[in-house]
Amino acid sequence: MHTPIFGRLTRLFIPTLLLLLVFWTGVHSYASFPAVLVAKKTLRVMTYNIHVGVGMDKKLDLQRIADVINKEHPDLVGVQEVDRGVKRTEGKDEIAELAAMTRMQYAFAHNLDYQGGQYGVAILSRTPIKNTIHRMFENRREAERRGMLLVEVEFGGKTLSFVTTHLDYQFADGRLFETHQLLGFLNEVKGPIVVVGDLNDEPTGTAYQLMRTKFDDAWSKSRANGDGLSYPADKPTKRIDHIFYRDKEGVKAKKAWVVETLASDHVPVVAELEFK
């Protein structure tokens, strides 16, 4: 039989021990232990063309990119223009370094061989990545190969597909051709899906308009303040970085915003999406 004093000590000690255990796992391991998945309903996503980590001052600084991400605390980030082992960026594995700096998991899609390394798009995720799919685009005009990366994560008790891409910057018909391929790949994806990326296309463009036949635009649907201009970072004049979602899965855009920063030649776009 416990004495009254022992019982009071037990009631104090066990909750404290559990709190310390949760704190220790959270601080010391962003990869060793899976994140505890809470049945949350609001998802914060970001799309960010990082210009291989080179800012408007022409300096390579991945910590600046990580600081921007950490300040906004997104659940998922679609990252474009990422180097791995490329000479121009000191052979860095950029997405692995960013994952460590942000304490997030990552997936990378290799679209192009360049200067002894790889160049492509990537995704950072605050929760475990269950599955990844990479698809390359055909493009008959632009020399740079492009593609899309899809990851599956658990969110709100469902499997969420999150996609990032980066389209042709030279030719409108090239962007349109790639967008047809992208929508073809995604046509069979079931359940909630979010697509982000640098489309190199403004809302008046044919690639953007084709995307809108299947997806809603978080910026316009949330009635965000401002024009959503994202490029160039020092004096933005173009809205080419976008966040799309399918509303038929009960998704609603609550708000969206751009983040003022010169860490890249683009500024990131962020949106909060609410799931039923």
pLDDT per position as a tens digit, 175-185: 999 999 999 99
Question: How many independent structural domains does the chain possess?
Answer: 2
Q: Are both 88 and 193 inside the same structural domain?
A: yes
Distance CA 99, CA 122 (A): 10
Q: Are both 181 and 216 inside the same structural domain?
A: yes
- Structure-block tokens of residue 74: 């997104």
We report the CATH number of the domain holding residue 170 as 3.60.10.10
Q: Are both 20 and 91 inside the same structural domain?
A: no
Q: Are both 134 and 254 inside the same structural domain?
A: yes
Q: Are both 43 and 70 inside the same structural domain?
A: yes
Structural domain containing residue 13: 1-33
Q: Are both 73 and 8 inside the same structural domain?
A: no
Q: Are both 251 and 182 inside the same structural domain?
A: yes
Read off the pLDDT of residues 225-273 as tens digits, 9 standing for 90 and up.
Answer: 999 999 999 999 999 999 999 988 889 999 999 999 999 999 999 999 9
Q: Are both 180 and 260 inside the same structural domain?
A: yes
Q: pTM of the entire structure?
A: 0.86
Contact by Cβ (8 Å): 89, 53: yes
Q: Are both 94 and 178 inside the same structural domain?
A: yes
Read off the pLDDT of residues 100-153 as tens digits, 9 standing for 90 and up.
Answer: 999 999 999 999 999 999 999 999 999 999 999 999 999 878 888 899 999 999
